[in-house]
Amino acid sequence: MNINPIVLSIPVFFILIGIELLVERFTNQKLYRLPDAIANLSCGITSQLSGLFLRIFGVGVYMMVFENLALFTLDNTTWWYWIALILLVDLAYYWAHRMSHEVSLFWGGHVVHHQSEEYNLSVALRQSSLQVLWTFPFNLPIALLGFDTMDFVYVSAFNTLYQFWIHTETIGKFPR
């Protein structure tokens, strides 16, 4: 059964955005502007619809690398496999995101995300449809190491879900 954790989490995203709106109301903070929030949601819808084809392309390239060039055959029934995959997916995301800030070509695909006026949960939905073109190559070393395509897809989806949580000013930072 193919269950996309991102699609399943959409109702939760909207519930949490609603909670953040309630927090805004009761604390008299200014976290949302209606035009900005509408733009964020519109970008999210657009990136989910049009970006689907590019994500399929990225996963297809990953699968070709995994099936034809993988250096190892890894056992996905071990605990270390999953820990290593989670860490590698996060590392690949880190470098892709960092390069999206440092390399002009990559910034062109990422700048949409930073055009919001406010920093709230709806900003996490503001993604570019084309960003996957610049970021998917960062995942190919994971395929070379022998991590199964579907395992990679699911761990990447959960990594994306984590990114949603860090786009808010409502929750403070951890104490040092």
Please give the C-alpha separations between residue 96 and each of 17, 127, 132, 135, 160, in angstroms, as whole numbers. 27, 14, 10, 5, 13
Cβ pair 124, 118 in contact under 8 A: no
- Tell whether the model's pLDDT for residue 2 goes beyond 80: no
pTM of whole model > 0.75?
yes
What would the two tokens of residue 172 be? Answer: 């403070």
Contacts of 116 (CB under 8 A, 6+ apart): 36, 39, 40, 122, 123, 126
pLDDT (tens digit per residue) in 25-82:
899 888 888 889 889 888 888 887 877 788 889 999 999 999 999 999 999 999 999 9
Q: Where are the alpha helices (DSSP H) in 28-168?
A: 34-69, 79-102, 104-110, 131-135, 140-144, 149-165
Cα–Cα distance measured from residue 65 to residue 142, given in angstroms and rounded to the nearest whole number? 9
pLDDT level of residue 3 (50, 70, 90 thresholds):
low
Identify the CA nearest to 96 among candidates 150, 141, 154. Answer: 141
